[in-house]
Structure 1
């Protein structure tokens, strides 16, 4: 149901099917449907009223505006030729710094994916990403041979909340080598966390050469 709302199958303000209809469609008990609807309503995704049914919430503008960019499209829209290189892709125990950022109390295994996005053959963005497999189990066996982690998540994993931090940093040794800059050169960093109904999905650090310019439209 969250996916249908995120993909606008059920548009903002739309009246969704009743519990009995959904129970039949999903082959589950009506009580299960009711609990799922209650959780979506608590997360502000649905609005439930007695005798009036359940509707998709009309999201505030600040939520409706935000779209996670697909790096490939970002580069192509600027006229560049896009490529990406997968640097690593493995399931491993996340460090404490990552679990804390995601609001998790215990260390756990997550998918750790690192890749480099290139524009016209030059480093554009280094992506260092941790994915909560409890939130997106289907990503575990993805090879990322033909699609980047960024694009896979945008198209496969809807979110209901995000936190974004922009800051300048100094490139570490490995990061500098990947981006083709000198160690301790300035880099432009975006850190993003996404959640679906309070469950963390992913934490990603995206670093660019210091000359990077970010342009957004509202």
Structure 2
């Protein structure tokens, strides 16, 4: 590593990861302390700390106060998901994005929806349905319930120029999310919206987001069977 590279956080993290992968630092081994590493890499101790923290979050290091940092005996790899803006997702793949608003109204949620969102009883919520398209072809059917107590400002939104997905991602930050991925078959309504045959296989993502002690939204996103989701470890 050059002197300049030693000061790069990404280069330091990559070098540490290399030592772990190549067993220079063996599983279970106690690695040098932050002060020693900062001298070796020619950088601030805070830069070393940041690299160690990220590797610990990734499951390859175990850090214990007063006991030092050890290489994990059984490293766990962590997949990170972000709440995507569907428009950006489609455009990143080179597609032309469109969305169609199918319905937008306040109605009483079913007991099943209330339970899914962790609410004690059913209540009035904003129910929004829309279809996202890529190059004119159905990409995702979005069926969403929004807790108006958590996001009162969404009540008057028409979604004429912005999808509910993009509006919530940009206007309503969340602190916690629960995501379920599963295969399913299209019912009559879903098949008609997605342009597939009834009972065709579909890929379904269900997501609930929360702010402390309060659910924001429950959304069911249904894709044609050709859909592929890619993440990184």
Q: Deviations over 1:13-44 (max 9, x none)?
A: xxxxxxxxxxxxxxxxxxxxxxxxxxxxxxxx
Q: Distance in 2 between matches of 1:67 and 1:61?
A: 16
Q: Which residue of 1 aligns with 2:87?
A: 72
For residue 190 of structure 2, give the secondary structure of its aligned residue in structure 1.
Answer: helix
Residue segments in structure 2 that go unaligned for 5+ positions in a row: 1-52, 59-77
**Which 4+ runs in 1 deviate beyond 6 A?**
none
Shift, 1:103, TM fit: 0.7
Measured on the aligned residues, the alpha-carbon RMSD in Å equals 2.0
TM-score normalised by L of structure 1: 0.70
Q: Which residue of 2 aligns with 1:156?
A: 171
Q: Distance in 2 between matches of 1:159 and 1:136?
A: 11
Q: Which residue of 2 aligns with 1:116?
A: 131
For residue 217 of structure 2, give the secondary structure of its aligned residue in structure 1.
Answer: strand
Q: Which residue of 2 aligns with 1:183?
A: 198
Q: Which residue of 1 aligns with 2:43?
A: none
For residue 134 of structure 1, give the secondary structure of its aligned residue in structure 2.
Answer: coil
Shift, 1:106, TM fit: 1.3
For residue 80 of structure 1, give the secondary structure of its aligned residue in structure 2.
Answer: coil
Q: Which residue of 2 aligns with 1:95?
A: 110
Q: Distance in 2 between matches of 1:217 and 1:199?
A: 30
Q: Distance in 2 between matches of 1:61 and 1:153?
A: 27
Q: Deviations over 1:162-191 (max 9, x none)?
A: 000000001000000000000000000000
Q: Distance in 2 between matches of 1:154 and 1:96?
A: 26
Q: Which residue of 2 aligns with 1:142?
A: 157
Matches within 5 A, 1:13-28: none
TM-score normalised by L of structure 2: 0.66
For residue 215 of structure 1, give the secondary structure of its aligned residue in structure 2.
Answer: coil
Matches within 5 A, 1:9-88: 61=57, 65-88=80-103
Q: Which residue of 2 aligns with 1:194?
A: 209
Shift, 1:66, TM fit: 3.9
Q: Deviations over 1:51-110 (max 9, x none)?
A: xxxxxxx999589x5420000000000000000000000000001110000011111000
Q: Distance in 1 between matches of 2:149 and 2:120?
A: 14
Where relative contact order (Cα < 8 A, 6+ residues apart) is larger, the structure is: 1
